[in-house]
């Protein structure tokens, strides 16, 4: 090696040495055991004890059969995890070495080479310990002891002088849905649920990068990049942002450096439906003496977002203004996609967010009983233009507010806000799910015989946690106060009249209140953040509930066990009786239960959208499942679209034509959520018999402009379109066209409930037009076509109009496709 080559080699080496490196410990060999037992077994990190017990064939899959009951003992046990990892002398030469746990579930003690390093008590926090002094060259032993969260929770609950509902779950800073929910099994996990790593660094390290958007115009985005740096000695350092480099004098300890940064001709981040969600990479590099010490890249979007609440005649508006324009929010609620969240893959996150985008959604609410989701979730939302309503993880109970608990929450808020704040998708931070409502509406105080003082204490604790501690912790972290904090969803509980005139609203009169679906037409709030109805999952998901041969019958105890709402089956049966003929055959029952769910949600969404701009958001309950289950979801645990998801895609189209029939009068509304206003649109209405005969046809011209984005056409009497005797034999075909005759939207309106329709036997034909495409046709109306097969159909559960055909794409080719329609369920 000549001198110059040697010099270059040493120079590169010194840079390498200086740079921060992270070494994951997840790929080391891990073992686990019950503390009561001797034998260590292989374990996987990140993971949970249930998954490890399954891998070691100690328990059977709790998602199958009635196994959930058999694994309840796990939550009462204590568990230990250990690994031995090698540290090289070169690694030891680094100035600083931190041991980082991105997530420990939940009560644990961390031991390194026999020494207790830290005790943890919050699944949602990140734990970092400096370990340079404790590490040695060669083998090092790391052990984490987890104590039962249920035992720990009970002990904490014992300190409160009155009984708290849902005890002990609310005492434990851990995903609340694991304690069992009305769509989820009780599987209280323990373990190293996120990656564990060693971080090697020298001199100084970038702790956080915070990007403040100061000003945004067409010409320029003015940003402040705030770098939070920890330095072990004072001195001159340089910080470069993309290609712009600056020198700074850093002090020993923590430093906060603000660097102005400009982007000219910025391309905005737009929500789905409004354009591209453009993103920019901001690479921050910390250097000393030309050596890179630490680097971080943040992917940001340039956009403004405000929550607008203005007093009006009815109450107070509630909507998001994005990039200066009111946005009608369309979407759903998100729960964790698995009871064992560490096994949710990046692909699963991507697929679900894509499915949301595909269904024309622009907002998802991350519900407070789950987890702060993985980075991949937020990245996918950023990239797909999906705004996130982010709850903090508190749901449907009372929570303590002693000093330890509050301090713990404060750190959790800081960790999570630090992690997530640069994502352009984050629209709002919300304190909790249904806690205000639980305190005011659910009668726990009476049930647990609270004294007046106990009740006052609960309210005081609530205010402390959600009106003081959380928003104040957020303020400490955020670079600007433009981030909105909303204490509770809903802001006013269901049943109170203000819940429909201000704030966000959860409407549960349908399902919980067992009111008819049609009530949705009246109960429209300013922003509907929850409402829902259950439907069965795909047949494939039902079959996956069984370890052996599935027995598809409603009476089967396995199927019964996969419905978590105590009155669930009865409620479904009751609503089904109201609107459909209840089939005795299981496959047909499954199909009708999905149509039933779809019917309810369609009525709700159409009512919400017709009420624009009074109503400015509709998020149905819920997108996904955490196991195979009968639930409110539109996509089942296996990722299959239920009938509901296909319908939401239609109902969430940017431009829709909607009919509202009341007391023999029909009103038609054209709704437009796009950026381009309607321009001279025409409505065509056709009354069509199921056999295709056109009974009446007219064009509606005159219209009332409620706003740029919503037009109301002149009302029409039903009797002018169909006679009473034709009401069960005909439907309305609604079409809006632009001035050039191009179709903007279509819809159908039926005059009777599905069970009363006088459908005739359709002759449905399927023709293969390509390996991954079919054409389906019918002679007479084929209502609610259901294509069956192990593939994803680009459309399904749709009405095929008399004498029409439609092409459908398949995600994978299929030999045999079975089909049924509503007609098949109306026969005795």
First to last CA, the chain: 90
- Residue 433 makes contact with ligand BMA by CB under 6 A: yes
Looking at the Cβ atoms of 509 and 674, the one nearer to ligand BMA is 509
| Angle, vertex CA 377, rays to CA 372 and CA 379, nearest 5 | 120
Distance between CA 231 and CA 205 in Å, rounded?
Answer: 7
Least distance to ligand BMA from the beta carbon of 573, Å? 17
Least distance to ligand BMA from the beta carbon of 567, Å? 11
Residue 267: alpha-carbon gap to chain centroid: 27
Rg of the chain, C-alpha, whole Å: 29
For residue 518, indicate whether it is catalytic: no
Distance between CA 228 and CA 173 in Å, rounded?
Answer: 27
Looking at the Cβ atoms of 368 and 424, the one nearer to ligand BMA is 368
Least distance to ligand BMA from the beta carbon of 716, Å? 38
- Residue 530 makes contact with ligand BMA by CB under 6 A: yes
Distance between CA 558 and CA 202 in Å, rounded?
Answer: 57
Distance between CA 732 and CA 690 in Å, rounded?
Answer: 10
**Which positions ≥6 away from 21 have C-beta within 8 Å?**
199, 200, 201
How many residues of this chain interact with ligand BMA, rule: CB under 6 A?
Answer: 11
Looking at the Cβ atoms of 352 and 745, the one nearer to ligand BMA is 352
CB atoms within 10 A of CB 94: 18
- Residue 182 makes contact with ligand BMA by CB under 6 A: yes
Residue 130: alpha-carbon gap to chain centroid: 35
Show contacts with ligand BMA in window 305-344 (CB under 6 A): none
Looking at the Cβ atoms of 409 and 629, the one nearer to ligand BMA is 629
Q: Quick one: which H or E segment has residue 748?
A: strand 743-750
Distance between CA 528 and CA 500 in Å, rounded?
Answer: 9
- Residue 568 makes contact with ligand BMA by CB under 6 A: no
Binding segment toward ligand BMA, per CB under 6 A, in 175-183, 407-415, 638-646, 760-768: 175-183
Distance between CA 764 and CA 779 in Å, rounded?
Answer: 7
Least distance to ligand BMA from the beta carbon of 526, Å? 18
Count the helix, strand and coil residues of the chain and give each as a percent rounded to the nearest 5: 25, 35, 40
- Residue 181 makes contact with ligand BMA by CB under 6 A: yes
Distance between CA 700 and CA 777 in Å, rounded?
Answer: 30
Residue selected from 621, 669, 797, 823 as contacting ligand BMA according to rule CB under 6 A:
621
Question: Greatest CA separation found in the chain?
Answer: 100
Show contacts with ligand BMA in window 244-263 (CB under 6 A): none
Looking at the Cβ atoms of 226 and 515, the one nearer to ligand BMA is 515
Q: DSSP for 419-435, please give it.
A: HHTT-TTEEEEEEEESH
Distance between CA 775 and CA 770 in Å, rounded?
Answer: 9
Number of H helices, E strands in the chain: 18, 45
Q: Mark residues 391-420: x for contact with ligand BMA by CB under 6 A, - for none.
A: -----x------------------------
Least distance to ligand BMA from the beta carbon of 323, Å? 30
Exposed / middle / buried, residue 814 (Cβ in 10 Å: 0-12, 13-18, 19+): middle
Least distance to ligand BMA from the beta carbon of 298, Å? 32
Q: 183, 564 in Cβ contact below 8 A? A: yes
Distance between CA 268 and CA 400 in Å, rounded?
Answer: 42
Binding segment toward ligand BMA, per CB under 6 A, in 178-186, 243-251, 663-671, 757-765: 178-186
Looking at the Cβ atoms of 167 and 422, the one nearer to ligand BMA is 167
Q: Which of 412, 434, 530, 563 is catalytic?
A: 434
Least distance to ligand BMA from the beta carbon of 448, Å? 20
Distance between CA 681 and CA 78 in Å, rounded?
Answer: 67
- Residue 461 makes contact with ligand BMA by CB under 6 A: no
Looking at the Cβ atoms of 434 and 784, the one nearer to ligand BMA is 434
Binding segment toward ligand BMA, per CB under 6 A, in 177-185, 270-278, 440-448, 550-558: 177-185
- Residue 434 makes contact with ligand BMA by CB under 6 A: yes
Distance between CA 826 and CA 752 in Å, rounded?
Answer: 14
Least distance to ligand BMA from the beta carbon of 577, Å? 21
Looking at the Cβ atoms of 120 and 170, the one nearer to ligand BMA is 170
Residue selected from 79, 101, 179, 183 as contacting ligand BMA according to rule CB under 6 A:
183
Least distance to ligand BMA from the beta carbon of 715, Å? 36
- Residue 442 makes contact with ligand BMA by CB under 6 A: no
Q: What are the distances in angstroms from CA 34 to CA 49, 472, 604?
A: 9, 40, 50
- Residue 564 makes contact with ligand BMA by CB under 6 A: no
- In three-state secondary structure terms, 257 is strand
Q: Quick one: which H or E segment has residue 120?
A: strand 115-121
| Closest-approach residue to ligand BMA (CB) | 182
Q: Which of 54, 53, 26 is nearest to 39 (CA)?
A: 53
**Which positions ≥6 away from 629 have C-beta within 8 Å?**
183, 184, 537, 562, 563, 564, 637
| Angle, vertex CA 607, rays to CA 601 and CA 612, nearest 5 | 130
- The first and second tokens of residue 823, run together, are 């007609």
Residue selected from 186, 210, 303, 506 as contacting ligand BMA according to rule CB under 6 A:
506
Least distance to ligand BMA from the beta carbon of 367, Å? 6
Binding segment toward ligand BMA, per CB under 6 A, in 23-31, 181-189, 419-427, 495-503: 181-189
- The first and second tokens of residue 30, run together, are 């891990």
Looking at the Cβ atoms of 530 and 784, the one nearer to ligand BMA is 530
Q: Mark residues 121-140: x for contact with ligand BMA by CB under 6 A, - for none.
A: --------------------
Distance between CA 503 and CA 490 in Å, rounded?
Answer: 7
Exposed / middle / buried, residue 17 (Cβ in 10 Å: 0-12, 13-18, 19+): middle
DSSP 677: P
Least distance to ligand BMA from the beta carbon of 183, Å? 6
Looking at the Cβ atoms of 620 and 798, the one nearer to ligand BMA is 620
Binding segment toward ligand BMA, per CB under 6 A, in 84-92, 179-187, 555-563, 770-778: 179-187
CB atoms within 10 A of CB 516: 14
- Tokens 């040495």 correspond to 17
Looking at the Cβ atoms of 176 and 594, the one nearer to ligand BMA is 176
Distance between CA 169 and CA 179 in Å, rounded?
Answer: 7
Looking at the Cβ atoms of 170 and 433, the one nearer to ligand BMA is 433
Looking at the Cβ atoms of 193 and 394, the one nearer to ligand BMA is 394
Show contacts with ligand BMA in window 625-664 (CB under 6 A): 632
- Residue 490 makes contact with ligand BMA by CB under 6 A: no
Least distance to ligand BMA from the beta carbon of 396, Å? 5
Distance between CA 421 and CA 209 in Å, rounded?
Answer: 10
Binding segment toward ligand BMA, per CB under 6 A, in 180-188, 236-244, 580-588, 604-612: 180-188
Q: Which of 51, 55, 62 is nearest to 558 (CA)?
A: 62
Least distance to ligand BMA from the beta carbon of 395, Å? 6
Distance between CA 717 and CA 585 in Å, rounded?
Answer: 40
Q: Binding residues for ligand BMA, per CB under 6 A?
A: 181-183, 369, 396, 433-434, 506, 530, 621, 632
Known catalytic residues are 434
């Amino acid at each position: 090696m000549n001198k110059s080559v040697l010099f270059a080699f040493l120079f590169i080496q010194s840079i390498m040495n200086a740079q921060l490196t992270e070494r994951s410990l997840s790929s080391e060999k891990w073992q686990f055991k019950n503390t009561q037992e001797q034998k260590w077994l292989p374990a996987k990190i990140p993971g949970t004890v249930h998954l490890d017990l399954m891998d070691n064939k100690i328990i059977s899959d709790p998602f199958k059969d009635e196994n959930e009951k058999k694994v309840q003992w796990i939550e009462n046990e204590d568990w230990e995890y250990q690994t031995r990892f090698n540290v090289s002398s070169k690694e030891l030469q680094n100035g600083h070495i931190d041991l980082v746990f991105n997530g420990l579930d939940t009560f644990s003690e961390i031991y390194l080479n026999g020494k207790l390093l830290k005790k943890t008590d919050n699944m949602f926090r990140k734990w970092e310990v400096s370990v340079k002094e404790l590490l040695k060259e060669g083998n090092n032993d790391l052990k984490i002891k987890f104590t039962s969260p249920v035992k720990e929770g009970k002990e904490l609950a014992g300190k409160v002088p009155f009984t708290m509902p849902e005890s002990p779950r609310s005492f434990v800073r851990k995903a609340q849905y694991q304690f069992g929910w009305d769509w989820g099994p009780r599987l209280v996990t323990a373990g190293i649920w996120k990656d564990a790593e060693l971080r090697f660094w020298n001199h100084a390290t970038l702790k956080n990068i915070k990007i403040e958007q100061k000003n945004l115009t067409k010409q320029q985005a003015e940003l402040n990049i705030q770098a939070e740096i920890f330095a072990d000695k004072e001195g001159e350092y340089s910080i470069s942002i993309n290609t712009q480099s600056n020198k700074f004098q850093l002090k020993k300890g923590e430093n906060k450096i603000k660097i102005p940064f400009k982007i000219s001709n910025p391309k905005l981040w737009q929500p789905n439906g409004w354009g591209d969600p453009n993103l920019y990479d901001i690479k921050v590099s910390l250097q000393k003496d030309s050596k890179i010490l630490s680097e971080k890249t943040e992917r940001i979007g340039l956009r403004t977002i405000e929550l607008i609440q203005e007093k009006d005649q009815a109450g107070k508006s509630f909507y998001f203004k994005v990039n200066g324009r009111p946005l009608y929010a369309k979407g759903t609620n998100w729960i964790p996609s698995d009871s064992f969240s560490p096994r949710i893959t990046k692909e699963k996150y991507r697929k679900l967010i894509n499915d949301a985008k595909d269904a024309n959604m622009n907002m998802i609410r991350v519900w407070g009983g789950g987890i702060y989701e993985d980075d991949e979730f937020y990245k996918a939302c950023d990239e797909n233009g999906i705004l996130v309503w982010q709850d903090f993880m508190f749901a449907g109970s009372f929570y303590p507010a002693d000093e330890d608990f509050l301090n713990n929450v404060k750190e959790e808020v800081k960790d999570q806000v630090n992690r997530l704040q640069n994502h352009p998708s984050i629209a709002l931070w919300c304190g909790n799910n249904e806690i205000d409502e639980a305190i005011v509406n659910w009668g726990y105080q009476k049930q647990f015989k609270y004294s007046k003082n106990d009740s006052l204490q609960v309210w005081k604790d609530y205010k402390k946690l959600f009106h003081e501690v959380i928003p104040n912790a957020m303020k400490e972290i955020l670079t600007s106060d433009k981030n909105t904090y909303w204490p509770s969803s809903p802001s006013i509980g269901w049943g109170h009249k203000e819940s429909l005139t201000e704030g966000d609203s959860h409407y549960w009169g349908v399902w919980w209140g067992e009111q008819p679906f049609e009530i949705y037409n009246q109960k429209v709030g300013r922003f509907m953040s929850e409402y829902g109805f259950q439907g069965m999952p795909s047949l494939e998901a039902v079959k996956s509930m069984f370890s052996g041969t599935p027995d598809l019958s409603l009476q089967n105890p396995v199927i019964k066990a996969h419905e978590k709402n105590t009155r669930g089956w009865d409620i479904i049966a009751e609503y089904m009786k109201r609107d459909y003929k209840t089939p005795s055959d299981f496959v047909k029952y499954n199909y009708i239960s999905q149509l039933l769910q779809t019917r309810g949600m369609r009525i709700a969404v159409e009512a919400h959208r017709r009420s624009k701009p009074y109503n400015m958001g509709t998020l149905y309950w819920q997108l996904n499942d955490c196991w195979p289950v009968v639930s409110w979801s539109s996509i089942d645990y296996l990722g299959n679209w239920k009938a509901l998801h296909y319908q939401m895609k239609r109902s969430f189209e940017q431009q829709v034509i909607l009919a509202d029939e009341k007391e023999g009068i029909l009103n038609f509304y054209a709704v437009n959520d796009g950026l381009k206003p309607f321009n001279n649109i025409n409505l065509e209405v056709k009354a069509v018999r199921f056999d295709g005969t056109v009974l009446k046809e007219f064009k509606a011209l005159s219209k009332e402009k409620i706003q740029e984005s919503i037009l109301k056409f002149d009302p029409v009497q039903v009797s002018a379109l169909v006679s009473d005797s034709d009401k069960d034999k005909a439907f309305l075909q609604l079409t809006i066209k632009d001035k050039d005759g191009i179709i903007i939207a279509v819809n159908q309106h039926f005059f009777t409930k599905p069970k009363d329709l006088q459908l005739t036997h359709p002759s449905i034909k399927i023709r293969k037009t390509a390996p991954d495409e079919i054409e389906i046709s019918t002679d007479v109306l084929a209502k609610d076509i259901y294509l069956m097969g192990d593939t994803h159909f680009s459309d399904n559960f749709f009405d095929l109009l008399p004498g029409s055909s439609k092409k459908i794409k398949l995600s994978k080719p299929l030999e045999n496709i079975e089909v049924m329609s509503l007609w098949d369920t109306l026969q005795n």
